[in-house]
Structure 1
Amino acid sequence: MNKINISPIGKIVNGNEVKVILDPKYAKALKGLEGYSHVQILWWMNGSDNQRDRNVLVEKKPYKNGPDEIGVFALRSPERPNPIAVSNVNIAYVDEESGTVGLYYIDAFDGSQVLDLKPYTPSIDRIENPMTPDWCSHWPKSYEESGRFDWEAEFNF
């Protein structure tokens, strides 16, 4: 296979303030993003970028109600061949001049590298009747409901 060249476009700040700070050369690419309420952020799971984690293909019972084994392509696990994550998040503000996108929350570590930003558009991204396995059918049906869900009760890690 051909080599792929991916260059980070910025980083995630996840502290007192949550935001994406772009490399200055990409700041103009934010033009028009302020009209959207949500953005999809593709980011690199830095802590899982090692040979051991990249070679994990099957996890042993990560979910309490799940199967005894499950492949990483059926999980959002950081252990995978390429530690790429995607998060759909609310936009708090967009500052094109500083190359910053303010967020309310993101499930990424401070300093995680951002690979790309894509506007969330319901006409392309929303699935009205998605199908999930029975073992997770009780999970929230939307991003908004997820904040009130007891996720800790679901995981074995």
Structure 2
Amino acid sequence: MAIEQPDMTLKAIGFVKNQVAQPVQGGWEEVISEIVIDRRLTDALDGLEEFSHIVVLFWMHKTSGEPTLKVHPRGKIEFPLVGLFATRSPRRPNPVGETTVRLLERRGNILKVRGLDAINGTPVIDIKPYIPRRHSVAGARVPPWVTKSGGISQRLEDIYRRLMDGYGPQHWWPAESPFEVMVGAVLTQSAAWSNVEKAIAGLKGAGALSPEALRRLPLAELARLIRPCGYYNAKAVKLKSLARWLGEFCGDDLNRLSAHDTDTLRRELLSIHGVGEETADSILLYAVGKPVFVIDAYTRRIISRLGLAPQDTSYAACQALFRDNLPVDSGLFNEYHALLVSLAKDVCRPRPLCPKCCLADKCPSRIVK
């Protein structure tokens, strides 16, 4: 016997105001938003400022398409196929989002919050205070896949928060164009970044920082211009190969690269002379905006000392550590990798400065003096 469902009317009580224009899968922890409440409801906010956290319910108005009744949690095929209501997938019959956020400030009808995973203009449908004894359940049971994903995920997320608190946004890669990122990714092989900057400045000064200009430039002249970064003869050949590939693959239109799926584009990049996995992934992440995590010597050093390195120490296995335990998001991967580089250069050096490290209390390899 079918049960007739009643019609319902839902009214927004306000909207979200921030700098995020499109939905992403991660990196919301440090996003500052304002929740602008209908002025007629201002008095209903009285007393809310006494709570450190609030629960925000919102309508995910940009979610499109019919919901799938069975999904892999977080879109990861290594997790079991489960019912939609056993996950937090945004594609739901009623696209209601719910997030606990830090309440930073109340100004009249405006709430300033941190960590709200809603884009600019999102309708807000309700707000509740976060009360630990109601919202935190001791001994709650969850499926094994949640526990499996949660342990490492929580460690990686905690590391990210600590690094962000300690170093702030890195705004990496420092370049004026995607092609400059690609050139820098090649030049930085076995080179200090300060020397890469000198080499790029030389290319700019000669008007040679474009694929076409590199193809026209004599090999010896190119090598001379990039001499500060070391291995300049070999790197000149690599840059020539990269420039030739760009002309053949996309007609020097780098905007066309993003139209290709990540795996296809990665295989193409790896076919270029002098482009290995780290260089290819740096190009994918920083120049094209694809969600791949770059594994370099700094990252390997840090995850090894933290006891997070997989038994299989291959590039792919180390990359899977981040890909399988964090939201697959280019912005998050970009910032996380850049923060690891900053940590490695600052304190997690070959001879570490453990007492100054923001991760020292969580590091089994720390040196105690």
Following TM superposition, by how much is the alpha carbon of 1:63 offset from its aligned partner in structure 2, in angstroms?
Answer: 2.6
Deviations 1:19-61 (A, max 9, x none): 111111111111000110100000001111x4x33x4211246
Following TM superposition, by how much is the alpha carbon of 1:148 offset from its aligned partner in structure 2, in angstroms?
Answer: 4.0
Q: Which residue of 2 aligns with 1:10?
A: 14
**What SS does the aligned partner of 1:47 have?**
coil
Distance 1:147 1:104, change over 3 A: farther
Deviations 1:70-122 (A, max 9, x none): 21101111111100010000100112x2x011112211111110000000001
Instruction: State the AA in 2 paired with 1:66.
Output: F
Q: Which residue of 1 aligns with 2:91?
A: 79
Q: Distance in 1 between matches of 2:100 and 2:9?
A: 24
Q: Does 1:45 align with 2:60?
A: yes
Q: Does 1:35 align with 2:50?
A: yes
Q: CA RMSD in A?
A: 2.8
Instruction: Calculate the TM-score normalised by the size of structure 1.
Output: 0.82
Q: Does 1:25 align with 2:37?
A: no
In terms of fraction of residues, the more strand-rich structure is 1
Q: Distance in 2 between matches of 1:37 and 1:125?
A: 14
Check whether the contact 2:71–2:83 (CA below 8 A) recurs between aligned residues. Answer: yes
Q: Which residue of 2 aligns with 1:110?
A: 120
Query: Which of 100, 110, 124 is 1:100 aligned to?
Result: 110
Percent identity over the alignment? 26
Q: Does 1:120 align with 2:130?
A: yes
Q: Distance in 2 between matches of 1:93 and 1:156?
A: 31
Check whether the contact 2:32–2:115 (CA below 8 A) recurs between aligned residues. Answer: no
The structure with the largest alpha-carbon Rg is 2
Instruction: Calculate the TM-score normalised by the size of structure 2.
Output: 0.37
Instruction: State the AA in 1 paired with 2:76.
Output: Y
Q: Does 1:153 align with 2:168?
A: no
Following TM superposition, by how much is the alpha carbon of 1:151 offset from its aligned partner in structure 2, in angstroms?
Answer: 7.2
Q: Which residue of 2 aligns with 1:131?
A: 141
Instruction: State the AA in 2 paired with 1:101.
Output: L
Check whether the contact 1:63–1:156 (CA below 8 A) recurs between aligned residues. Answer: no
Q: Which residue of 1 aligns with 2:260?
A: none
Following TM superposition, by how much is the alpha carbon of 1:14 offset from its aligned partner in structure 2, in angstroms?
Answer: 2.1
Distance 1:86 1:22, change over 3 A: same
**What SS does the aligned partner of 1:27 have?**
helix
Distance 1:120 1:147, change over 3 A: same
* Structure 1 unaligned spans of 5+: none
Deviations 1:123-149 (A, max 9, x none): 211112222111120416xx9x85546
Q: Distance in 2 between matches of 1:75 and 1:148?
A: 25
Q: Does 1:89 align with 2:260?
A: no
Q: Does 1:63 align with 2:76?
A: yes
In terms of fraction of residues, the more helix-rich structure is 2
Distance 1:156 1:35, change over 3 A: closer
Distance 1:60 1:153, change over 3 A: closer
The runs of at least 4 consecutive aligned structure 1 residues that moved more than 6 Å come to none
